[in-house]
Amino acid sequence: MSPTATSAYTRQEMMAIATGREIHDGELAIFGVGLSMLAGFFAQANHAPNLRAMTEGGVYGSTPVGGLPWGIECNRISTNATSFTSGLDALGCLVGSGRCDVGIIGAAQVDKYGNVNTTGIWDGDIGDAYRAPKTRLTGAGGANDIACGAKRFLIMVAHERKRFVEKVTYISSPGYLEGGNARARYGFAGGGPSAIVTTLGVLRPAPETNEFQLDAWFAFSSIEEILANTGWPLKVSAHAHVVPEPTAAELAHLRKVDETGALRRQ
């Protein structure tokens, strides 16, 4: 638990709430499994009642019941849907097309330009010829499609030095690539990552360069702690500030969504 004045909450809960605050009422939003789903449905419960939420499974109009769904198609989220279609519909017609306002994805590794690796961990560079990773991860899933197509997307990731690297070994989902307007080369429908929300704070891309810099820290963290846990020389925004702590209402809404307390386990 974090040592703060207000009611105790975990770093994961702060991360979920900070992510949820990035999502606005009425938006068309897509969530992945786990943390990202909790953050998204927290937003819907707390301040975005008209959020048009979906999962890449093509599950529409539902809200999880009985706790964190085991997957985007889990019965916990399929039990009160208004529509079931398909992955091609959700990720293609609604996300890859550029129609979706915001998506939330996770990362095993993220770099200074918001490129995400969820494919594997290699010992050093992959090299000219592709080779299997030392540690195989979960692959791109729908995150690549969200990163290419959603008008903007949020990256949720535990703030650890090994995860925040100068350059990811493998780009599973494109951020700003080499920075600047490198994305333009590919004509992506989507605009790129608008924020990296971590267990310690919030990073946002700098104008022009699109290099991520420290925008805000949490009440329980600090600029120093964040710099120490970032694997590249992280720039600090001139307007860096502390993120307001969760309100009692926010915590209540989050914990209602996180019925099984996934975010309260340390």
Partner 1 sequence: MPPPKLLSLAEAVRRYSWDGMQYASGAALPIGSDAVVFGRELLRQKRKNLHAIFHCNSQQLNLLAGAGAATRAECGFTGLEVFGFANGLRRAVESGELVLEDYSNLAMPLRLLGGALNWPFVPATVNIGSDLQDRSAFAPAEFPARSKIATVTDPFTGRQIGAFRPLKPDLAAIHVTLADPLGNSIMLGTEWSRFELSRAAKRVVIVADAIVDQACIRQFPNLVRIPEIVVEAVVYWPFAAWPQSSPGMYDVDEEHMRTMNGALATSEGTREYVRTFVESYRDVDSYLDMIGGERLALLGKTRTAFLLDPYRKWLLPAAEVARRQQDAETR
- Residues that are catalytic: 56
Rg (CA), the chain: 18
Q: Is 137 exposed, middle or buried (0-12, 13-18, 19+ CB in 10 A)?
A: middle
Q: Which residue's CB is nearer to partner 1, number 120 or number 201?
A: 120
Give the interface segment with partner 1, choosing from 9-17, 52-60, 213-221, 245-253 (CB under 8 A): 52-60
Q: Which of residues 208-237 bind partner 1 (CB under 8 A)?
A: none
Q: Which residue's CB is nearer to partner 1, number 88 or number 236?
A: 88
Out of 2, 22, 24, 89, the only residue in the binding site for partner 1 (CB under 8 A) is: 89
Decide if residue 87 touches partner 1 (CB under 8 A).
Answer: yes
Biggest CA-to-CA distance, the chain: 53
Decide if residue 7 touches partner 1 (CB under 8 A).
Answer: no
Decide if residue 188 touches partner 1 (CB under 8 A).
Answer: yes
What is the smallest separation between the CB atom of 66 and partner 1, expressed in angstroms?
7
Instruction: For residue 66, give both structure tokens.
Output: 């009985």
Task: For 132-199, give the secondary structure using H, E and C.
Answer: CCCEECCCCCCHHHHHHHCCEEEEEECCCCCCEECCCCCCCECCCCCCCCHHHHHCCCCCCEEEEEEC
Give the three-class secondary structure for 46. Answer: helix
Q: Got the DSSP string for 7-45?
A: S---HHHHHHHHHHTT--TT-EEEE-STHHHHHHHHHHH
Decide if residue 145 touches partner 1 (CB under 8 A).
Answer: yes
Decide if residue 66 touches partner 1 (CB under 8 A).
Answer: yes
Decide if residue 251 touches partner 1 (CB under 8 A).
Answer: no
Decide if residue 247 touches partner 1 (CB under 8 A).
Answer: no
Out of 24, 47, 60, 259, the only residue in the binding site for partner 1 (CB under 8 A) is: 60
Q: Which of residues 168-187 bind partner 1 (CB under 8 A)?
A: 170-174, 177, 183, 185-187
Cβ partners under 8 Å of residue 30, min gap 6:
53, 54, 55, 56, 90, 94, 95, 100, 102, 103, 104, 142, 146, 150
Decide if residue 84 touches partner 1 (CB under 8 A).
Answer: yes
Give the interface segment with partner 1, choosing from 14-22, 134-142, 191-199, 224-232 (CB under 8 A): 134-142
Q: Which residue's CB is nearer to partner 1, number 10 or number 78?
A: 78
How many residues touch partner 1 under the rule CB under 8 A: the total is 80
Decide if residue 165 touches partner 1 (CB under 8 A).
Answer: no
Q: Give the whole-angstrom CA distance, residue 6 versus residue 263.
A: 18
